[in-house]
């Protein structure tokens, strides 16, 4: 079951430059930088009440985010993230409804160790959607 919108992810070519710009122009504070080695990204969040903006920068050339930057050198919105109670259960339910999931069923985790999965953009109005499980 979808519980809410967790964050919108923006790919940037330089996370430090993006953090300075968000602070200088909008007064937004970007939190600590983290690395998700499995996904090949450096990331940081801007906390905005119930939601967040996630800044993502590739940490290696074979990262899917690096490929996104090749097509969009200035960066841009990469995906939106929806919270769910149970990723595996949600994947099964969506699969029964004909929704394609990316990653071939291989369990993935975010930088906080939470289970995640991605819906194929062709099955969500052209948008890449991440599902993120939160322990209650």
Instruction: Cite the active site residues.
Output: 130
Do residues 115 and 133 make contact, with C-beta atoms less than 8 angstroms apart? yes
Radius of gyration of the chain (CA): 15
Helices (H), the chain: 15-26, 64-71, 87-96
């Amino acid at each position: 079951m979808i519980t809410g919108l967790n964050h919108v992810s923006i790919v940037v070519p330089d996370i430090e430059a993006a953090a300075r710009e968000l602070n200088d122009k909008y007064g937004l504070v970007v939190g600590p930088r983290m690395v998700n080695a499995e996904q090949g990204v450096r990331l940081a969040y801007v906390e905005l009440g119930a939601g967040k903006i996630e800044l993502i920068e590739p940490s290696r050339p074979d990262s899917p985010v690096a490929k996104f930057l090749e097509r969009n050198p200035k960066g841009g919105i990469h995906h939106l993230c929806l919270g769910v109670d149970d990723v595996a259960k949600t994947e099964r339910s969506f699969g029964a409804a004909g929704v394609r999931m990316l990653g071939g069923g291989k369990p993935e985790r975010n930088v906080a160790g939470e289970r995640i999965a991605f819906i194929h953009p062709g099955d969500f109005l052209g948008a890449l959607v991440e599902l993120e499980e939160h322990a209650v």
